[in-house]
Structure 1
Amino acid sequence: MINIKLASTYLYLLIYILLSSGVILYNKWVLSPKYFNFPFPITLTMIHMGFSGAVAFFLVRVFKVVSPVKMTFEIYATCVVPISAFFASSLWFGNTAFLHISVAFIQMLRALMPVATFIMAVMCGISKPKCDVFLSMWLISVGVVISSYGEIHFNVIGTVYQVIGIFAEALRLVLTQVLLQKKGLTLNPITSLYYIAPCSFVFLFAAWCLLEKTQMQVSQDQNEFNYWIFFSNALCALALNFSIFLVIGRTGAVTIRVAGVVKDWMLRALSTVIFPESTITGLNIIGYGVGKSPSLLLFKVQAFSHIYISYLI
């Protein structure tokens, strides 16, 4: 007899893997000058946040699927605003990297995520340096260096954008731990988007006015804006946000971490098929193996695992 609970868990993991891979590949296709040619990462990220915030508003205020948490102005200003700022920054810089480097290399650089998260956690005082963790961090960094050295189409600008995005995401994770949980707030997938997405949209809108507004207007005069492409793209991003929280709620940390590794390998394989320029070399594979293997051991470090789980997002 089929275990329904186990089968549903595997189904959720499969949905997460497919959505996560699909959103990354879709974003790359939309932004790349070689394909859809919409080189405006801030605009794309702003569309995602605006759509997610609007859906969350209707679910909370109109359909009343969930109730909003007790949110004071002081908590919003000191907790939600900085978290939203770094969330917007991580998405912005991460999407900008698609313009310069391949999907496969981006996934290899994301092996640095536990290193960035640990550094930020130590700086914020919620983790302490330990020899075993430090050794894992060193091995991960060596693996990323090897992968970078073996990258055929290495681009400094794209690498810098991706690394900045990684550290912004790491700081967002740490701030979520430090600020929200100390206030006793627990946000579910819908309320998280309800509070964070609109604020992130505001930050992105300010950046858009300064950096992309004029270029966007010129481009729109020359090319027709395809609303269906961006609607479907934003819908996929929203579904991914929901699936992440759904999977985390149904599985343990090790299970979802293994699913993330499977997703990474599958994504690199798919990217080489869909985007021929995404060439993977032997050094890339060796470096990724060196960088990824120690990261699984970090779950044994209790002081670090409570924020490291969010690395999968």
Structure 2
Amino acid sequence: MARQIAVVTAPASLVFFKGGAKRLGRAQLLSDAPLTLKVSGTKLLFSVSCRSKGFGFESSEGSRGFEVVAMESDGQADPLSDTLPDHNSKPSDQDTTPKMKSSSRLFTIGLVASWYSSNIGVLLLNKYLLSNYGFKYPIFLTMCHMTACSLLSYVAIAWMKIVPMQTIRSRVQFFKISALSLVFCVSVVFGNVSLRFLPVSFNQAIGATTPFFTAVFAYLMTLKREAWLTYVTLVPVVTGVIIASGGEPSFHLFGFIFCVAATAARALKSVLQGILLSSEGEKLNSMNLLLYMAPIAVVFLLPATLIMEENVVGITLALARDDFKIIWYLLFNSALAYFVNLTNFLVTKHTSALTLQVLGNAKGAVAVVVSILIFRNPVSVTGMLGYALTVSGVILYSEAKKRSK
């Protein structure tokens, strides 16, 4: 039966909540009515156990039951939930905090695993299509990626409500997003071109130098100076790539230039994004930014595809008549390209930017090992030492940036 209780100024009971505990007046049973609790102005979560001549209260995060309304106390408390458990539940059911933490940890691990799988998967599949399979159309492949990102972003935001829809507020903001989209296109196309000529392991070694280019562009465009220790950590980043280049058995100058250009374009995009969308009214989360950038990218890539990769659609259809798997490869690869962005956003949301950096460094190493196992590309001890030096430099750079803040 539903009951109403209220706090009276009688001997106090301890109320535990996230961050501490407060002594509150003992609650006395008043009448049969909806269960309400006056404790603070902030909604907390309590389990209720019936005691002689009153009720005792203790925290039970994650429980479900009656709603807690209008609460007051003499102290501040963290808002945890709007719900109150059924007072008839068993004691073992009341405290579900360990289970919640366990499921939350498993959820985060699942997100990270999905991010790793999609990121490494799209990289390896790009390499397979552009190099091993012989589908030599990186611009068209990038356009397929951006088309999938356009459609799936709209589904995720407008239909599935993963994040609230943010709108473009002015023509100036639209032109800023268009500029970012153009740089983004260049980075993706150049990266895909480089995969035609370079093994994934060497591609990842060069890609690890992104912090170096970010620091350079940040200084050139905003005159932002970092602490001297931060610049020192960039020395092993660059040195490692130079060593890896000298020891790379599959080194290709054209692929190397395009890979460096792709890395620089990624860094330029991140710096430009901080400059162009810096005001509070123009900031977009990464999911909404992708929603607007992807279709603009398709507009840029379509004429480039028609001019530079003539009759690519006809060639693709001819390939499909001989081997229909190419269509499934393209569809799956394009969906993975969007899933990379989605999982990247969710991992950042459920962990932190710093954790993402650490995971990103580890992901590069995992991608190198997996690509060597799959494609059997030759590697040298010198090349691996160079890559290890680069990754070590990136880790030191991240630590130096964290300390400078």
* Sequence identity percentage: 26
**Aligned equivalents of 2:166 and 2:355: distance in 1?**
30
Deviation at 1:219, TM superposition (A): 6.0
Structure 1 pair 88/48, CA: closer, same or farther in 2 (3 Å)? Answer: same
2:331 is aligned, of 213, 217, 231, to 231
Match of 1:132 in 2: 229
Structure 1 pair 302/111, CA: closer, same or farther in 2 (3 Å)? Answer: closer
Tell me if structure 2 keeps the 8 A contact 1:13–1:256: no
Tell me if structure 1 keeps the 8 A contact 2:173–2:282: no
Deviation at 1:156, TM superposition (A): 0.1
2:177 is aligned, of 67, 80, 84, to 80
Query: In terms of Rg, which structure is larger?
Result: 2
Of 230-239 and 153-162, deviating more is: 230-239
Counterpart residue type for residue 299 of structure 1 = S
Match of 2:383 in 1: 284
Structure 1 pair 305/109, CA: closer, same or farther in 2 (3 Å)? Answer: farther
Counterpart residue type for residue 16 of structure 1 = W
Deviation at 1:62, TM superposition (A): 5.9
**Aligned equivalents of 2:204 and 2:386: distance in 1?**
12
Tell me if structure 2 keeps the 8 A contact 1:43–1:208: yes
Counterpart residue type for residue 267 of structure 1 = A
Structure 1 pair 67/48, CA: closer, same or farther in 2 (3 Å)? Answer: same
Q: Deviations over 1:59-118 (max 9, x none)?
A: 4556666323242112111x1011000001000000011110100110111121111111
Which of the pair is proportionally richer in helix?
Answer: 1
Match of 2:125 in 1: 26
Structure 1 pair 59/20, CA: closer, same or farther in 2 (3 Å)? Answer: closer
Match of 1:191 in 2: 288
Q: Which has the higher contact order (CA 8 A, sep 6+)?
A: 1
Deviation at 1:266, TM superposition (A): 1.6
Q: Deviations over 1:213-265 (max 9, x none)?
A: 24554564465363222111111111111000111111123322222222222
**Aligned equivalents of 2:236 and 2:173: distance in 1?**
38
For the pair 1:270 / 2:367, whether they are aligned, the reply is: no
Match of 1:158 in 2: 255
Counterpart residue type for residue 328 of structure 2 = W
Deviation at 1:57, TM superposition (A): 3.0
Q: Deviations over 1:102-139 (max 9, x none)?
A: 00110111121111111111111162154212211222
Aligned residues: 302
Tell me if structure 2 keeps the 8 A contact 1:40–1:216: no
Deviation at 1:179, TM superposition (A): 0.7
Counterpart residue type for residue 362 of structure 2 = V
Deviation at 1:302, TM superposition (A): 4.8
TM-score, with structure 2 as normaliser = 0.69
Which of the pair is proportionally richer in strand?
Answer: 2
1:69 is aligned, of 154, 160, 167, to 167
Match of 1:249 in 2: 349
**Aligned equivalents of 1:10 and 1:261: distance in 2?**
17
Q: Secondary structure at 1:10's aligned position in 2?
A: helix
